[in-house]
Amino acid sequence: MSKQAFLIDIDGVLYVGDSPVPGAADAISDLKKKGYNIRFLSNTTRKSRKTIVARLTGMGFDIGPGEIFTPAVAAISFIKKAGISGVHLLTTGDVDKEFAEAGIYSCSDGVDAVIVGDAGDNFSYERMNGAFRFLLEGAGLIALEKDRYWMAGDGMMLSAGPFVSALEYATGKTAAIMGKPSKTFFELALDSMGVGASDTAMVGDDIMTDIGGSISCGIDGILVRTGKFRPETLQAAEVKPTAVIRSVAHLETIL
């Protein structure tokens, strides 16, 4: 496999829970020393790149904020390319800091786009209805992700998807989706490195969002047997990975 660049999923590939995958930090350092372009991908819509980097650094990874690619980073790139200036943010955590650092602040006047992430407790009737009204007045709808739910420590939690669907249902509009497995996400990640799909491979633990998503964009998909990997899921999947490796620490063996 002859590649110039890698898209590497973070959760389940670099670490599982609170433990780094054995050998992963060294493998990443080696790839960087050899001059490969890398973007580390996360679908989180509650954390900024700085927060993600702090966690990775604590686990021994030498990765900088500029190498992290999230739905918020994709949205910023998307907004700039589309010439959108007025945005209204329906988000939570420190994701708004990511936009602020790019010079984008939430506004309620002259709204061209409503950006919806997993806003947690910031979702209220008032906030949703405000977003609904901006959309009726002509704003576009951008979803950082459209997942149905996620698992927290104390049980299942609604993700952004049900709220995005509610706004789509009420307005008849279709959201532009920024996160994996959307084509937009993979294409903007490639753009940020200035490389083409055929020169790049995606490394991930999710057969659908990582491998299916990348392959549909012409990017080779390498599945790791860590994180959420289950042999039966691989067997049942219609998507066939380009390669399957034990973990990201074994990436070297197929290069």
* Interface positions with Mg ion (CB under 5 A): 9, 11-12, 205
Check: CB of residue 226 under 8 Å from CB of residue 12.
yes
Beta partners for residue 90, in sequence order: 116
Residue number with the shortest CB distance to Mg ion?
A: 12
Task: Look up residue 20 and give its two tokens.
Answer: 């780094």
Q: How far is the CB of 31 from Mg ion (least distance, A)?
A: 18
Check: CB of residue 98 under 8 Å from CB of residue 72.
yes
CB closer to Mg ion out of 9 and 145:
9
Give backbone dihedrals phi and psi of 41, rounded to 5 degrees, phi first. -105, 135
Task: Look up residue 213 and give its two tokens.
Answer: 């998503």
Q: How far is the CB of 228 from Mg ion (least distance, A)?
A: 6
Within 10 angstroms of residue 230's Cβ, the number of other Cβ atoms is 12
CB closer to Mg ion out of 8 and 141:
8
CB closer to Mg ion out of 52 and 141:
52
3-state helix, strand and coil shares in percent for the chain, rounded to the nearest 5: 40, 20, 40
CB closer to Mg ion out of 134 and 229:
229
Q: How far is the CB of 209 from Mg ion (least distance, A)?
A: 8
Q: How far is the CB of 41 from Mg ion (least distance, A)?
A: 8
